[in-house]
Structure 1
Amino acid sequence: MQDAHATHAVFNQVPELDGLDLFGVDPTLQRAVDAFGGGFGREALSAYGALAGGPLAAAGELANRHVPELRTHDRRGHRIDVVEYHPAYHELMRAAIAHGVHGLPWESPREGAHVVRAALELLHNQADSGTDCPVTMTFASIPTLRANPALAALWEPRVLSRRYDPRDLPADAKEGLTLGMAMTEKQGGTDVRANTTTARATGERDAGGEVALLTGHKWFCSAPMSDGFLVLAQWDGALSCFLMPRWRPDGTRNAISIQRLKDKLGNRSNASSEIELRDAFAWAVGPRGRGVATIIQMVALTRFDCMVGSTAIMRHAALHVLHHIRHRAVGGRRLVDQPLMRAVAADLALETEAALWLSMRVAAALDAREADPREALLVRLATALGKYWVCKRAPQHVNEAQECLGGLGYVEEHVLPRLCREAPVNSIWEGSGNVQCLDVLRAIAREPETLGVLRDELGRAR
């Protein structure tokens, strides 16, 4: 029966790109994983690729449409400082943690562990980038947490648990924990040495170590429902690192007030907040006055993950371009058969592959850095270079992909507008472009042999 409302035939439409195994359709990622010792993880990657290209992709759309909401008080007027998320957010978090995106290299250290974990993260980011923020911070926290061995012994087993536990409870009542990081303050931004938050020693020690009370604020605290936060504060005038739990060990809420949530351009599924501290309980992590040196281990890994995240955004945009041009015809010829479009698509694919190989090479260096000092030097330099270049290129890459799709790539029913809003964040977070340039100069000045390591690496790639 003919549709009474039909005015025209609908044809020359591209089929939906649903239900993909994002690992199975990415031969470059498969080759990189095998080349850098991650072949043991192929089965897990295929399983997660199917999730990321199917159910998690749908969850990512929902989690970004239904953004987190802050509840400062309960219905009786008690201060609770709770952020409520859509169930899709929890579905994404549960999947990432169940598959070890938050801790595989620490849980099962072996050759290729960082490579497999980076590949898992790349797949997850194609479903949703916002939830990768708490996952990344949890992953990156472990080396810094280990600067306080007593505290690490208490927290690390549950931080590395494969069970996601979103309940707002004290840490020792939960099956799994997530960790965040809060350094930035209003007056300083990247200049954390200008921080004014203070730490006051209590003279007490417990099973987690030396206790201090923190007073001040943090201007950008993402994932505020994390179970603990690694923060910086001035301790007798010396910037020091602390772990500040969401709940005190005595079972009462810590003195952390969430002032508001940021209304961000992208990264909408992830809550980013402003917080104030009023004698908030915290444990010292690392030596007094060595706060930056202690927390920089966490920062370095989050910078690496920024590069992986931007690579994922570029990969997903390119995937949609390649799918579109294979099915869409203009002037009686498929777009993929037209020289100009082939040139643009090839350029997008080439840049995506370059970013992917760089990310996986740095992941392999992370695996090898303990045994090989040259690999450690490469990690230091290549992370900053990759963070600078890949993250800066992602917005232009996505915009080019939108041009390939035309108007379809600009409407919110398609994923590309979300990627367009998401793409700038990784070049800003964890130190923007100038900060990465200064880090490169610092690395070369302190360890001049770093430049030789990079030259050797580039020589082998020619």
Structure 2
Amino acid sequence: MTTRSLPTPSAAPVGTDLGTHEVTNQAPPLAGFDPMACDPALVDAVRREGAGEALPALRGLGRVVGSAEAREHARLANENSPVLRTHDRYGHRIDEVEFHPSWHRLMEISVGWGLHASPWQADPGSGAHVARAAGFYLVSQLEQGHCCPISMTYASVPALRHDPALAALYEPGLMSRSYEPGLARPESKAGLLAGMSMTEKQGGSDVRSGATVATPSGDGTYQLIGHKWFTSAPMNDLFLTLAQAPGGLTCFVLPRVLPDGTRNPIRLQRLKDKLGNRSNASAELEYDGATGWRIGEEGRGVATIIEMVSMTRLDCVLGSAGTIRAALTEAAHHVAHRSAFGTRLADAPLMQTVIADLALESEAATTLALRLAGAADRGERELLRLALPASKYLVCKRAPTVVAEALECLGGNGYVEESGLPRLYREAPLNSIWEGSGNVTALDVLRAVAREPASVDAVLTEIDAAAGADEWFDRAVRELRSELRAREERRARRLAEMLALCLQGSLLLRHAPEEVASAFVSSRFLPDGPWRTAGTLPAEAHTQALLERVSPTP
């Protein structure tokens, strides 16, 4: 049989432009931009909430966040997930997690800027929680996974202070701005990170149903036996956990390495295969007679950690606000450089309206999140008791929707991993689940309304500061007051949403430019119900001004 060879095409000289790969009408890479220059809502809120002196430092952090190098580290940290190493090559149990170098670089950035603990220093300066919140919001736009150990460390300090001796032992390392990965005796390390280990498989958010047992050892320590279902950042140096002591549910601190240098028997069973948050390891772990030190009284575990929960809920709001802002930035950048049917997308009325709507959502989330951080600085406990869970409910719920709309602005490009939007989309639902999913958070709102009337008064005082500014807003506040009196469990989500939305409306009416406040109120407080999808703003909304306000520039 005769074989015939296919004709060999003539080779073109190296470097010849064949005209088949000319790239036109694509947005340039979004790198080397200043995320604060296109976020006046953040800058204004930092000043208003008492941290104006921190703005020069925050601008420096913003330049890092917007740099091509940092954005590449974010990509690499997510594409190279952590790996569990239960044993070394010789068969010794080590229970370690191996991270990509880009994870460590992101951690160095956030720890180096003090985002893990700076407000707890002896003399943190004015507006310390606000300054830290703004920084956390910025790095959340860069990469959410590494924010988890940063947030848990920030939240752990108030709980540790229930035991002055333990606080004195660990706080110097927790306050340090040195990032030192790896397991070693806490006293020997230049810097420490803390985590929390609460969830068990039979309970989820119902931490009181935990079955982990803590038995007194006679020397002031306890031995813990039990299985924890979800523990993030298991390579942190110490963990706050709940266990059933003889006197009831109690809070403990467990270091990964004991004072004598031996490993505490905290066994990492497996890493969770999560939807998003891929750079961050989340583990199931087993306490196999692990040594813990009690924090607070036996039986008072929930009361001991409650402030820790509040701080992490604040970071949920900040993280979701950062995710919303990151998605808006990507969409605004794309439409500024992409044309369709002979028109630049940013000049097309319908696209302009969509981006403007996302900008309103971002401004409202950012303004509310920084107001909560200001309340933390000023010790407004009554306001936070109700405003914080309500804000977590709404802002975290809105994040996935905003990211989906932003992704759609990029069309098919947005559905491709290289755009970065799929990572944001996978990340977006997390904060709505962490520290209490929607129903848990809404029920907490209802509980605060029923049991703590001072918190209702504080929130209504904040909302009423904008009374008379807009008739639609005033009507919504009247409806909110009726809902507050009803206190029906089946309507708890509606109550949480109305509370947060009225807080956002009040803040924007008082502090935002007229074009922002009027567009927000006219779309979010319609007499016949709220808006349904982005891009349905009323005709009088100043969409071009809103778009220009938030578009990134090199």
Do these two structures clear the TM 0.5 threshold for a shared fold by scoring above it? yes
Cα deviation, residue 8, structure 1: 5.8
* 1:389-432 C-alpha deviation (Å, 9 max, x unpaired): 00011001000001111011110101110000000000011100
Aligned to 2:99: 85
Instruction: Tell me the distance in 1 between the aligned counterparts of 2:322 and 2:216.
Output: 44
1:50 aligns with 2:63: yes
Deviations 1:286-334 (A, max 9, x none): 1110001101111111011011000000001001111111111111111
1:71 and 2:81 aligned: no
- The Cα RMSD (Å) is 1.2
Shift of 1:21: 2.2
- Kindly provide the amino acid, as one letter, of the partner of residue 57 in structure 1: R
Deviation at 1:28, TM superposition (A): 1.6
Task: Describe how 1:209-358 pairs up with structure 2 within 5 A.
Answer: 210-236=220-246, 238-358=248-368
Instruction: Tell me what 1:376 maps to.
Output: 381
Give 2:171's aligned amino acid: E
Whichever residue aligns with residue 386 of structure 2, its letter is L
Quote the residue 1:195 is aligned against.
210
Offset at residue 167 of structure 1 (A) = 2.4
Which letter maps to 1:177? L
Measured at CA, do residues 10 and 285 of structure 1 come closer, stay the same or move farther in structure 2, by a change above 3 Å? same
Q: Which runs of 5+ in 1 are unaligned?
A: 205-209, 370-374
> How far apart, in 2, do the equivalents of 1:31 and 1:15 lie?
29
Q: Which amino acid in the other structure matches residue 408 of structure 1?
A: N
Superposition misfits of 4+ residues, deviation over 4 angstroms = none
Q: What CA distance in whole angstroms lies between the structure 2 residues aligned with 1:354 and 1:165? A: 37
Identity percentage of aligned residues = 54
How far residue 4 of structure 1 moved from its aligned partner, in angstroms, is: 4.4
Task: Write the distance in 2 (CA, Å) between the matches of 1:398 and 1:232.
Answer: 35
Cα distance in 1 between the residues matched to 2:21 and 2:275: 38
User: Contact 2:247/2:298 (CA < 8 Å) preserved in 1?
Assistant: no
- The corresponding residue for 2:27 is 14
Q: Map of 1:415-430 to 2, 5 A cutoff?
A: 415-430=420-435
Question: Is contact 2:182-2:235 (8 Å) kept?
Answer: no
Quick one: distance in 1 between partners of 2:93 and 2:320? Answer: 38
Which has the greater radius of gyration?
Answer: 2
Q: Post-superposition shift, 1:110?
A: 3.5
Q: CA–CA distance in 2 between the matches of 1:56 and 1:326?
A: 23
Q: Secondary structure at the match of 2:270?
A: strand
Preserved CA contact (<8 Å) 1:37 1:111: yes
Conserved? CA contact 1:266–1:421, under 8 Å: yes
Matched, 1:176 2:191: yes
Deviations 1:18-40 (A, max 9, x none): 01222233222111111111111
Offset, 1:5: 4.1
Contact 1:59 1:92 in 2 (8 A): yes
Are the aligned partners of 1:36 and 1:364 in contact in 2 as well (CA < 8 Å)?
Answer: yes
Measured in 2, the distance between the counterparts of 1:212 and 1:243 equals 10
Structure-2 separation of matches of 1:278 and 1:320: 47
CA contact (8 A) 1:57 1:126 kept: no
Partner of 2:502: none
- Give the aligned length: 452
* Higher-strand-fraction structure: 1
Contact 1:235–1:288 (8 Å) recurs in 2: yes
How far the C-alpha of 1:7 sits from its partner, in A, is 2.3
Amino acid at match of 2:203: G
Q: Is the partner of 1:413 in helix, strand or coil?
A: helix
Give the structure 1 partner of residue 441 of structure 2: 436
The equivalent residue for 1:207 is none
- Whole-angstrom CA distance in 1 between matches of 2:128 and 2:354: 35
For residues 44-71 of structure 1, what are the alpha-carbon distances to aligned partners after superposition, in whole Å with 9 as ceiling and x for unaligned?
Answer: 1011101111132211111001110000
**1:109 paired residue number:** 124
Report the AA paired with residue 100 of structure 2: H
SS for the counterpart of 1:203 is coil
Taking the aligned partners of 1:172 and 1:9, their CA distance within structure 2 comes to: 59
**Structure 1 residues 145-184: aligned runs within 5 Å:** 145-184=160-199
By how many angstroms is 1:178 displaced?
0.2
Aligned to 1:95: 109
The Cα of 1:377 is off from its aligned counterpart by 0.8
Q: SS at the partner of 2:180?
A: coil
| C-alpha separation in 2, matches of 1:434 and 1:276 | 29
Contact 1:232 1:242 in 2 (8 A): yes
Q: Could you tell me whether the CA contact under 8 Å between 2:116 and 2:150 is conserved in 1?
A: yes
- Residue aligning to 2:548: none
- Residue 241 of structure 1 aligns with an amino acid whose one-letter code is C
Whichever residue aligns with residue 367 of structure 1, its letter is: D
Partner of 2:16: 3
Q: Secondary structure at the match of 2:287?
A: strand
CA contact under 8 A between 2:396 and 2:431: conserved in structure 1?
yes
Query: What is the rounded CA distance, in whole Å, between the counterparts of 1:25 and 1:413 in structure 2?
Result: 23
1:449 deviates by 2.2
Paired position in structure 1 for 2:487 = none
